[in-house]
Amino acid sequence: MARSVRGGGRLDTGLVVACVVLAVFALVMPRRMRDSVSTALRSTILSPLVLLEMRASTVRAAIASRNDVLVARGRVVTDALSANAVADENVTLRRLLGLSARLRDGFVAAEIIPTRGVDDDFTLTLNVGTGVGVLPFSPVVMADGLVGMVQSADANTSFAITWAHPDFRVSAMSVNETAFGIVQPHLGTGAERWLLELRGVKFAAKLDTGTLIVSSGLGGTYPRGIPVGTVLGEIATPEKWARTYLLKPSVLPAAIGPVLVLLPQRATRGVNGVWTNLAAADSAARAIAAAGDSLARKAALDELIARRAALDSASGSGAPSDSVGVQPLMTPADSARADSVRRARSARPDSVRRVPTVPPAAPPRTGPPPAGAR
């Protein structure tokens, strides 16, 4: 073992000495000879190493280019998502500005402070507090409707529960004031967890799908007329004397962003039909559009009837059908009726035709002849 180590050391020393001698020889060698020797070495002994280095350089360039492409694609996707998020946020802010303009006063705009906790889906931390007039039981709203209620507040922050919180309750009614009840979370499983229930509706009040449910103002916490949700359908319950309806919330959890907190004096004065007027305006716009469509259909039908009457009159007078500029489509019943009219006109007897009258002859004159006749 000692001999092998000793022999390896001698070999290394010999290689080092040989390399030093070759290096000195290459330095003192003329430039032309040095270039020819280096060319010969690259083309013979070092050729596989040069080829391997070229392939390694190509692979490194391909990897770097692939990384650049992936980074560029990721940046494009991020920019697109950011653009969509910014557009959605702008729409939300515009609608919130419209709501604040309709309310005019008695509210405070608030931003949601991100938090990490178990109840993040049920509670909100707002950046406003008692310093600007926010108190417990203040309603939290958005342009789409009711979000929740302030549960506690300090000088600079407040904590609110959303409609998904198990303790949430609001007295509600249909927009036409035919049904009243209490809205609470559905507390189902899966996607139904994010729905609401309208309970305690009298059995005689039947609500159709799509009916808007708003706060009734009873209880003093929520003013009258804030949208809460729309009816999805009736659900079966053991209570046979009352109905229970499943509601889709007006404000979805993913859409909760900047909010308005209604101050106590505003909640006492009410919201003056801010949201219900919007619903009525939307219904009126849809009715106007439907009326416009019906008028357009009536005008088109009148034009078709006029063209068909012109065709019938042209056919009755013996004019060829090519003389009519537009040839409307005729049903088999219309063509049969036209043929029967033609046959009736051709079969009319000659006795009924009008004969020109001849004036009667003048009676013979019996008196003396006139003076000019002599």
| DSSP structure class, residue 86 | H
Q: What pLDDT, in 10s, does the model give residues 95-143?
A: 888 888 888 888 999 999 887 765 567 889 999 999 999 999 999 999 8
Q: What pLDDT, in 10s, does the model give residues 343-356?
A: 555 544 444 444 44
Mean pLDDT of the chain: 77
182: pLDDT strictly greater than 50: yes
Cα 344 to the center of its chain, rounded Å: 62
175: pLDDT strictly greater than 90: no
Where in the chain are the domains? 1-38, 46-102, 104-282
43: pLDDT strictly greater than 70: yes
Task: Give percent above pLDDT 90 in the chain.
Answer: 24
> What pLDDT score was predicted for residue 117?
61
| Category of 71 on φ-ψ map: left (φ > 0), alpha (ψ -120 to 50) or beta | alpha
Look up tokens 């359908």; give the residue: 233
The residues near 195 (Cβ < 8 Å, ≥ 6 apart) are 185, 186, 188, 232, 246, 247, 248, 249
Q: What is the CA radius of gyration of the chain?
A: 48
Within 10 angstroms of residue 172's Cβ, the number of other Cβ atoms is: 29
How far apart, in whole angstroms, are the C-alpha atoms of residue 147 and residue 163? 6
Residue count (the chain): 374
158: pLDDT strictly greater than 90: yes
DSSP string for residues in 95-149? HHHHHHHHH-SSEEEE-BPP--STTTTTEEEES--GGGT--TT-EEE-SSSEEEE
Q: What pLDDT, in 10s, does the model give residues 229-257?
A: 999 999 888 887 899 999 999 998 888 88
Q: What pLDDT, in 10s, does the model give residues 269-293?
A: 888 778 865 555 445 444 555 555 5
| DSSP structure class, residue 369 | P
The residues near 147 (Cβ < 8 Å, ≥ 6 apart) are 124, 140, 141, 160, 162, 163, 251, 256, 259
> Which has the minimum average pLDDT: 13-22, 42-51, 189-198, 258-267?
42-51
Q: How far are the Cα atoms of 86, 163, 165, 171, 247 from residue 193, in angstroms, in the given order?
A: 28, 11, 11, 20, 11
- Read off the pLDDT of each residue in 70-79 and give the average, rounded to a whole number: 82
Query: How sure is the predictor about 193, in pLDDT bands with cuts at 50, 70 and 90?
Result: confident
Indicate the Cα dihedral angle 201, 207, 211, 215, nearest 10°: -10
> What pLDDT score was predicted for residue 180?
93
Report the candidate in 328, 299, 333 with the shortest Cα–Cα distance to residue 313.
328
Phi, psi angle pair for 195, to nearest 5°: -120, 170
Token code pair at residue 44: 């013979």
- Read off the pLDDT of each residue in 296-318 and give the average, rounded to a whole number: 69
More confidently predicted of 80 and 280: 80
CATH level 3 topology of 104-282? Thrombin, subunit H (2.40.10)
- Read off the pLDDT of each residue in 140-150 and give the average, rounded to a whole number: 92
Which residues are bridge partners to 212 per DSSP?
A: 230
pTM, to two decimals = 0.54
